[in-house]
Structure 1
């Protein structure tokens, strides 16, 4: 998919998902959020940038860690997500911008820490985006990111081929690339960072019932734009196919799906 088209798909897709995203995904994504905060080692008074901030969960947590003398700025390509984040946050600042050009919008060499929680997978050029984020750091500053892990380790991943079979182009063609092998660590090193470290976290995503599982997959995530254009028969069909793909993880009327995150951290060189 052309990079500009992919960016538009993500922008308008997350606009559509923004109203339901946090309610449907906050608990499931908590291990990744907590992992990013652990690796970030935020200190009172630090200046933090949260790229691809979504509804602002990580941004708010960062502000709580750095306190009133610190600074927490969130940015996202989706105007809908920025609006949700602004409405839910006090003391944070939010703006809409593309991650790949964030260093042209915000001051370079300014932030002590840059965070990107589960956003790189949606970017047309993740490596260029990492390089832009690194330029926002002061020398010695820390960049911490998380991505989804291996496709085979994520039980909900069947949603992509189910939707892609009904649209003209893939929704997230390279979604699991950064979660494979040592790819994330290599990308961080390629952005010029040192002391790079990466780790994997296995998790379980619990859904109380079929309706919640389908809402999270189709209305609160990356396929929301395509799903919004489906007619009723198509929606019924994709729900049935998706639930069939989850049956091996059925539990007491709901589901307990496996998931995996990859966390990465690196520092901008002092010179």
Structure 2
């Protein structure tokens, strides 16, 4: 899994991150994985993928490996999970957290997978496609390596759905507009396009579920939404002077009053090859 940022730094650059910043990123990934709203999204995806004992599954864009470890438990005792990520440093972090399950860690490009056709019974790909240059090529590869009758499960964000309450609407619109302006179109609406993309690749039994994540306070939102997180470096905002400070003043005040709210939709889409 790859968390959203306010800038366009490609995740291929993770291996060039200073160690302290990379440690902060991994900690953020782990915090996000524990968040109840992300757990709810993943539960929806779990029901769509339907992992079972003996399967061979691919976690494409595995991040720190938390989903890989859960999948490995589901396919035990005779199954296997291949945890793939573009970043060698991220894979090293995932290996360091390995609990001895049947997981094979592989560095690779989701747009050019080094696996034979029909190598897997199912694929999990979470919040990766918004970050690749050619998401349809990546989906084609995920479909190619999945056996006939296997399931492909994609999870991705619809950043255009982001909304706030409890803060000045004009200011919130400025912050959201600034973020939107720094994202590519595919980053903005990837989640809502997944169903069409799977249908275009010929998958059947395609089920699309929008999961609206609800954040009732700034602390909860900050785990998932970088523009609510005080720890996100100011330099990554590259925003007009004073916007960040004014925003956080309002967010903090709304938190103290108890009327802060943020919502964001993450789509879960799965189909049968």
Q: Secondary structure at the match of 2:44?
A: helix
The answer to whether the aligner puts 1:99 opposite 2:110 as a matched pair is yes
Quote the offset at 1:18 in angstroms: 3.4
Deviation readout 1:182-229 (Å, 9 max, x if unpaired): x2211001122122121111221355549x828961799xxx7xx586
- 1:64 aligns with 73
Matched residues, number: 248
Q: Which runs of 5+ in 2 are unaligned?
A: 1-6, 165-171
* In the alignment, structure 1 residue 190 sits paired with structure 2 residue 200: yes
CA distance in 2, matches of 1:23, 1:235: 31
Deviations 1:209-266 (A, max 9, x none): 49x828961799xxx7xx58659x9899564255368579646579542121111111
Alignment-derived partner of residue 25 in structure 2: 18
**Could you say if the C-alpha distance between residues 45 and 252 of structure 1 is closer, same or farther in structure 2, counting changes exceeding 3 Å?**
farther
Q: Secondary structure at the match of 1:107?
A: coil
How far off is 1:77 after superposition?
1.6
RMSD over aligned Cα, in angstroms?
3.7
The residue that corresponds to 1:46 in the other structure is 55
- Comparing 11-20 and 124-133, the one that deviates more: 11-20
Aligned counterpart, 1:175:
187
Please, which runs of 5 or more residues in structure 1 have no aligned partner? 1-5
Change (3 A) 1:43 1:218: same
Which of 209, 215, 229 is the aligned partner of 1:199?
A: 209
Q: In the superposition, relative to structure 1, how do residues 46 and 214 fare at CA in structure 2: closer, same or farther (>3 Å)?
A: closer
Distance 2:85 2:186 in 1: 19
Q: Distance in 1 between matches of 2:224 and 2:152?
A: 32
Which secondary structure state, in structure 2, belongs to the residue aligned with residue 175 of structure 1? helix
Q: Does 1:135 align with 2:144?
A: yes
Q: Is the 8 A contact 1:36 1:263 kept in 2?
A: yes
User: What is the CA-CA distance between 1:24 and the residue it aligns to?
Assistant: 3.4
Residue 174 of structure 1: SS of its match in structure 2? helix
Cα distance in 2 for partners of 1:79, 1:158 equals 37
Pair 1:23–1:101, CA change in 2 (3 A): same
